[in-house]
Amino acid sequence: MSLPDRIDPKPPRRIYRWDLDKTYLQTEFDTFRQLVRTAFQRATEKVALPGASALIRELRAAGDTRLCIVSGSPTQMRTVLAEKLKLDGVEFDELVLKDAVGNLLRGRFKALRGQVGYKLPVLLESRALAPIDAEEVLFGDDAESDAYIYSLYADMLARRVSEEAVRKVLESAEVYPDDLARVMAAWAKIPPSDPVRRIFIMLDRLTPPAFFAPYGPRLVPVFNYFQAALVLSADGHLAPAQVVRVALEMVQTGAHNLLTLSNSFQDLARRGLPLAGVADALIQAVQGPQALLSAFRPLPDIIAAFTKRLAALGADPVPAPVGEIDYQALLFHALPKQKPARKR
């Protein structure tokens, strides 16, 4: 009796790494009351950011991608979070949560809020198992240290930072010795490469985009996932029709309309993102004979205003130069700080 040939899945060509709280989920944890409420929410009570699930589904449509989620949420929330992702039609390959209880029982109090010593080794250990030629795109937010951690991770993979510099940064960040050892051990197993193509930071706290300028043009702060979809289309990850489908989900939530989305497009253009080619393709997707937005039946004048703004973008700007990132200097601004509770 012959056994059927085993069909192995394709090795991932692209890896998408996401945070959850404030990056995928609308989560509030600035006060103790908010933290408790979040911890006891059911999956059906949790709300995804507009366009987040649509963007992930479109990115996963190629079939040769991998979705890895690394979140600071406690491990006890795994069942609820996994159920929420399933409800949204999001299939993940990896879901890593923080062992907050374990850290508490071991007296590792700095690890409860610290993210550098938690996320960096997890990212490196995951990368050590990935194909060397797999590209990566990372998604985080401005509530914690994602911009710093993701950029350091990318430059470590490309060997743009030295071992001495990394050790100094981790010691300054008060990373526990065992986590520091995990970082160094995982890093040593990874062949030098430069796979991180883009880092997106969701501006949950409305941090001015200019704050992230020291991280270079690889990092793009975004106010919504339509902006991320536009940049990903320019980078070759999404077709124009896929960008439109992300926009449709965002409009369906009631949080956006075509005019606010066109403002988002213009915001990226003003910041120097190369989107002129995307604008032409998007106009065809919106106005063409099989336009996806026709299912929404928006008013003709709104469509006209949208396409007029896109057409006015002009030629792509000259890309900004890529400079060396001073991680030691940026560390103070990257570490989480206690935010005072709002007065009633």
Rounded Cα distance, 117 and 223, in Å: 27
Give the β-pairing of 196-202 and 65-74: unpaired
Q: What is the model's pLDDT at position 261?
A: 86
Q: Read off φ and ψ for residue 331, nearest 5 degrees.
A: -60, -45
Q: Name the least confident of 1-5, 170-174, 184-188, 231-235.
A: 1-5
236-294 tens-digit pLDDT = 999 988 998 898 899 888 778 878 888 898 899 888 888 878 877 877 776 665 555 55
pLDDT digits 0-9 by tens, 74-91 = 888 999 999 999 999 999
Tens digit of each residue's pLDDT (9 = 90 or more) over 194-251: 999 999 999 999 999 999 999 999 999 999 999 999 999 999 999 988 998 898 899 8
Whole-structure pTM value: 0.88
- Tokens representing residue 259 in the block: 């005019």
Backbone conformation region of residue 12, classed left if phi is above 0, alpha if psi is from -120 to 50, else beta: beta
Ordered structural domains, the chain, with CATH: 14-222 (3.40.50.1000), 236-311 (no CATH)
d(Cα 96, Cα 71) in Å, to the nearest integer?
6
Other residues' Cβ atoms within 10 Å of the Cβ of residue 267: 15
